Amino acid sequence: MTVRYLEDLLPTVNFASRAITQTPVDWGIRIIPDCQIVYVVSGRAELCIGSATYAIGAGECVFYGPEQPYGLSASAGTEYYSIHFHWKSSSSMPVHPAFYIQQLDRNQLGESREAPKIAIPDCNEISLPPVMVVSGIELLFARIVKEYEMEKPGYTVVMRSLMMQALTLIVRQIADSRTSGTQRGRIDPAVHAMQEQPSRNWAVSELAALCGYHPIHFSKLFKEEIGLLPKQYIIAERIKLAKRALLQGEKLDALSERLGFTSIHYFSHQFKKTTGLTPTEFRMNGQPKEA
């Protein structure tokens, strides 16, 4: 297995998109010519590599590289980012992978290849797993997609810079998780529960029970791992959903109630505290300007 050094990477983004499946989609078994990261914003996906099958939920990424047969499918209504990239290339110009994708039969899945490794200064080599949770990756992917679609002057250089930030964020969080990996595994049930039911009025005791912890100890571990208290995290998840709903025209009173806020005033207060804008200001700024 080739070990890549973080400071030597020169990534090129070959393709970037954000999409929503209208019906269940199965992309089949295939091999791609580059690397791909798929980040699930909402919905469900399933990844097959070798003899292993992984259920992918909101907030999770899947990763695979060239020469690794894999199968990927998604349920209807799944929203996701798809980023294709090369680790290192002298040119920053995208080379669309579609022409080089090989379709295979299901019996050609074979065995999982060894995970790629990245070495970073003052740290051991980092192996990239096929499934991971990377906090903050969605914003970087959104910016990459925007650059890819707009093609403004210098966009390929900007994408390279953003992809380098994304890869650094990934390996940094994997490195950090080595010291708290057991804790993260124990709070995952609570994280998934809040992502699945963000409008529910979760009590800390309920979330702690899902993970087998006393509420006080659970809150401490949650803060150490996520950087937020459970209440702050659930509000952040609600605001993330609210931003999309506002741009789709949902009324404030219905949205506030649907997301579990006690009042429109409280919803507006939390929204501005998180985004710096009121819901109305956010909706106006997000609308396309007239020519």
Q: What is the CATH number of the domain that holds 257?
A: 1.10.10.60
Q: Tell whether 184 is covered by a domain.
A: no
Q: What is the pLDDT of residue 9?
A: 94
Could you tell me if 102 and 229 lie in one domain? no
Looking at the 3D structure of the chain, how many domains does it have?
A: 2
Q: Tell whether 190 is covered by a domain.
A: no
Q: Tell whether 77 is covered by a domain.
A: yes
User: CA-CA distances (angstroms) from residue 82 to 22, 26, 28, 35, 208?
Assistant: 16, 15, 16, 11, 34
Could you tell me if 13 and 141 lie in one domain? yes
Q: What is the pLDDT of residue 181?
A: 47
Single out the residue of 149, 142, 168, 132 nearest to residue 240, CA to CA.
Answer: 142
Single out the residue of 76, 185, 170, 83 nearest to residue 129, CA to CA.
Answer: 170
Query: What pTM was estimated for this model as a whole?
Result: 0.63
Q: What is the pLDDT of residue 189?
A: 87
Q: What is the pLDDT of residue 289?
A: 39
Decide: 143 and 162 in contact? Cβ < 8 Å: yes
Q: What is the pLDDT of residue 124?
A: 67
Could you tell me if 108 and 73 lie in one domain? yes
Could you tell me if 250 and 118 lie in one domain? no
Series of mean pLDDT values for 10-residue runs along the chain (291 residues): 83 96 93 96 92 90 92 94 96 94 86 80 78 89 95 96 95 72 68 87 90 89 82 89 87 90 91 87 63 31
Q: Tell whether 188 is covered by a domain.
A: no
Could you tell me if 205 and 139 lie in one domain? no
Domain that holds residue 208: 197-286
Q: What is the pLDDT of residue 182?
A: 46
